[in-house]
Amino acid sequence: MDNSKELLSATRGNALGFMFFRILLKCFGVRIAGAFLWPVTFFYALFDRTACRRARPVLECMYPEASVLVRFWHTWRLFANQGRVILLANYLSATGKEIPVVTENHPEALPYIQSGDQPVVVVSSHFGAWQAAFINSHLIHRSITFLDHPDQKATLDKFQTVRAEEGQVAEIAQNQAVAGGLVEAMAALSRNEMVGMMGDRASDANATAVAVGKGTLNLLTSPWLLGARMHAPVIVFLVGLQWSPLKIVCRFSKPFFPPDIPGRRLKPEDLHPGMEFYASELTQMLQRFPDQWFKFEE
C-alpha cells in the first residue's frame, strides 16, 4: 500500500502549528482549542488542492448533487472534524482525563468482544474519534492485536492514548511485517485472539469497489479474506464524535460470518456480501455523524 495515500495528514501541519495548539490545549482546554480549527481548516479547504481532491470521492458519494458552495462547506467541515479528532487524542494522552462514552453494541457481538476463547476479526475505519477510542480499549474487555501503518509524526500517533497500557493493545506495523502483517494476524487468530484492521484504505491490488451512499468506493478485502480463512467472525467497530456536548459513540456491529467454501480459492465475489455489510454500517454512521469519514483517496 502506498503510504503517501494513507498518511496524507502526516504531510500537513508543521512544528509551529502543533506547538500553538498544544499551548491552547494546556491553557484553555479542548473546546477552545477546537474553535481555532475553523480558520485553520478554512485555509486548507480553500487552498490545499491535494487534500480537497483526495477528500472528493467520499463527499461525492454522500452529496452527489451538491453545489460548489455546499461541497466546499462539507470539505471544510471534514477537515475541521479531522482536526478535532487529533486534538482530542492529544488532549486525552496529555491529561489522562476521560470523556463520556456511549456504547451501542449489538447484543450478538457481546460474547465475542467480552470472551477470549474464540478468534475474532474487528474491522474498523478512519471514522470519527477512532484515535480517541483506543484509550477506551477496556470496552472490548479483551486484548487486541491491531494491524496498521505507523504514523510519521508522534503528534498523530493513533496509539498515543494507550502507550502506557500493559498488554491491552498490541500493534503490528504492516510496512515492516511479513505479507503486510497477515502472517502475524493469522497466528494470533489461531491462538483464539482478536485482530483489528482498518477496512477503508486499500490499494488496487487488495481493493474491491463497493456501493457506498450514492456512489462506489474501494474498500479493503483483507479483513473478510482473513475471517474466511481462519473461520472467524468479522465485527465492524465504528466510533462517532459528538462535539457538543463532548462524547464519543462506540458501536460494535453484529458478527458477520464470511463464507467457508472448501475445495477452492475464494473469489472477490465471495467476499462482497461482507464488504457490503461494512459499507452499510459506515453509511448508517455517516447519516448520524456527517463528514467524519477521513478516507482520502488518490
Q: What is the mean pLDDT of residues 250-268?
A: 84
Which of 2-11, 139-148, 194-203, 206-215 is predicted least confidently?
A: 2-11
Digit-coded pLDDT (tens) for 61-118: 999 999 999 999 999 999 999 999 988 888 887 787 888 889 899 999 999 988 778 8
Percent residues over pLDDT 90 in the chain: 46
The predicted structure's pLDDT at residue 27: 87
Cell for 158? Answer: 493513533
Model confidence band, residue 124 (pLDDT cutoffs 50, 70, 90): very high
Nearest CA-CA partner of 9 in 159, 203, 151, 186: 151
CB-neighbour burial class of residue 276 (10 A; exposed 0-12, middle 13-18, buried 19+): middle
Contact 55, 76 (CB under 8 A): no
Digit-coded pLDDT (tens) for 224-253: 999 998 999 999 999 999 998 999 999 999
The predicted structure's pLDDT at residue 15: 66
The predicted structure's pLDDT at residue 165: 47
Which of 159-168, 184-193, 218-227, 275-284 is predicted least confidently?
A: 159-168
Digit-coded pLDDT (tens) for 164-182: 444 566 666 655 555 667 8
Distance (Å, rounded) from C-alpha 198 to C-alpha 235? 12
Helix and strand counts by DSSP (H, E) for the chain:
11, 9
Cell for 247? Answer: 462524547
DSSP one-letter string for 191-237: TT-EEEEE-S---GGGEEEEEETTEEEEEESHHHHHHHHTT--EEEE
Q: State the average pLDDT for the chain.
A: 83
127, pLDDT greater than 70: yes
The predicted structure's pLDDT at residue 178: 57
The predicted structure's pLDDT at residue 130: 85
Distance (Å, rounded) from C-alpha 271 to C-alpha 261? 11
Q: What is the mean pLDDT of residues 9-37?
A: 80
The predicted structure's pLDDT at residue 163: 46
Digit-coded pLDDT (tens) for 187-215: 889 999 899 888 997 766 678 899 998 99
Percent residues over pLDDT 70 in the chain: 80
Distance (Å, rounded) from C-alpha 151 to C-alpha 134? 15
The predicted structure's pLDDT at residue 175: 53
Q: What is the mean pLDDT of residues 264-279?
A: 87
